[in-house]
Amino acid sequence: MAAMAAALRGPAGCFRWQTRALAGGVRGAAGQRDYDLLVIGGGSGGLACAKEAAQLGSKVAVVDYVDPSPRGTRWGLGGTCVNVGCIPKKLMHQAALLGGLIRDARHYGWEVAQPVPHDWRKMAEAVQNHVKSLNWGHRVQLQDRKVKYFNIKASFVNEHTVCGIAKGGKETLLSADHIVIATGGRPRYPTHIEGALEYGITSDDIFWLKESPGKTLVVGASYVALECAGFLTGIGLDTTVLMRSIPLRGFDQQMSSLVTEHMESHGTRFLRGCILSRVRRLSDGQLQVTWEDQASGKEDTGAFDTVLWAIGRVPQTRSLNLEKAGVDTNPDSQKILVDAREATSVPHIYAIGDVAEGRPELTPTAIMAGKLLAQRLFGGSSDLMDYDNVPTTVFTPLEYGCVGLSEEEAVARHGQEHVEMVCLREPPQLVLGLHFLGPNAGEVTQGFALGIKCRASYAQVMRTVGIHPTCSEEVVKVRISKRSGLDPTVTGC
């Protein structure tokens, strides 16, 4: 009997409802499920889907729960972007840019006493208060649209039913005709490294620190690693990046090299081709980090106040009991397999955002995919999300914006002899990708992304009149290619 009870309970609990839930979901007296749509995950994509569905007259619920990081950091409604991603990252990036502007001000005649100290506590408090205001705003928006919100950790009981466990242990069973999984991802920890969990932090923690992280080692070569290292250096902290391989894998590598070169010239140190092996706490409170240089095989150590892991992210699928619903995942990535309609292996269960296989891990794509999904389900639409030519920006000290193919991808797809300046060489010289490194790269790239989405040709870009003097006009002045061998340095208007 005890063994049978344990088997029925499962990892998530909900024992007392299990027998009637097995019949295909909880139904009311009229035979209806609790909701038309249940969204698991209160991040950007999930909230966008839920609000759009509610606007279209559907009965909608959102379940969301944040497991604390190993350090104990937790946050409110809104997902990664609002709480530990785009928003706090951009604010701290802006803080670093302001520091640079203050240092440059004296060249424009401003008498600013140097050096100008930075107060981490004051910045962090302002950033955290802003994030909390966004958390509250999301709650209000759901309430205004009559979307029911549950702060519970959900897992599937069957293909129409989920069980949610609240912080205090209370269990709630919910059923829906359609279910959307939008649980996103969390930072990856190198659990095989001694001291990684005990002493390291991630992007889940850095934005919620009350005190300055001090001398910091950022481990990784991802955009998260370089963005964090960039703003830490920019506000005056001693920062080192330890990377095993190439920076910004998947991005254009010429641009990636320029990003790291600029960072290095402005004070960020790089340890390239190194593998970290252990982290230990010293008697003075600092962290002793040991790594190996792959080229020489030599071991080296350094002392830091903070070690920040930025080595990738893992999808939040393991605790969902997807097998109970019959939802298939990629066994390697653990991401959910979806089709062009965002549908999983179970037709009425969908996945959007970072948790779905083959999708860009970008907030705006999750938002648009969520809205379009809701419109297909409840608004009679047939429009699908187009994942081609999605623009993005890496907010390193010198920002890098891009849309379309990298040079490496263009060459691999079309052949070296058919590509020039990430355009096809044959008329009408279709633009395959655009890559911009400079101030306000996101603002520049956003506008040109529309042109590329509309299949702009190189000739059309060259016929576009630039706004002078601006950074973005450089795009419409690009006339020197690598193949020409000419010097591209700008010498005048």
User: Apex CA 129: angle with CA 119 and CA 222, to 5°?
Assistant: 70
Q: Tell me if residue 12 falls in helix, strand or coil.
A: coil
Q: Alpha-carbon torsion 481, 484, 488, 493, what sign?
A: negative
Work out whether strand 287-293 and strand 299-304 pair parallel, antiparallel, or are unpaired.
Answer: antiparallel
Determine which one of 107, 160, 348, 468 is catalytic: 468
> What is the C-alpha to C-alpha distance for residues 92 and 83, in angstroms, rounded to an integer?
13
418 included as an active-site residue: no
> What is the C-alpha to C-alpha distance for residues 403 and 392, in angstroms, rounded to an integer?
6
> What is the C-alpha to C-alpha distance for residues 365 and 353, in angstroms, rounded to an integer?
7
Give yes or no for a contact between 435 and 462, defined as CB atoms under 8 angstroms apart.
Answer: no
- Long-range pairs of 474-478 with CB within 8 A, sequence gap ≥ 24: 474/436, 474/438, 475/434, 475/436, 475/444, 475/448, 478/421
- What letter would DSSP give residue 30? T
Q: Tell me if residue 150 falls in helix, strand or coil.
A: strand
410 contacts: CB under 8 Å, gap ≥ 6: 419, 422, 432, 433
For the record, the structure tokens of 322 come out as: 């997807």
Per the DSSP assignment, residues forming a β-bridge with 433 are 404
For the annotated catalytic residues, the residue numbers are 468
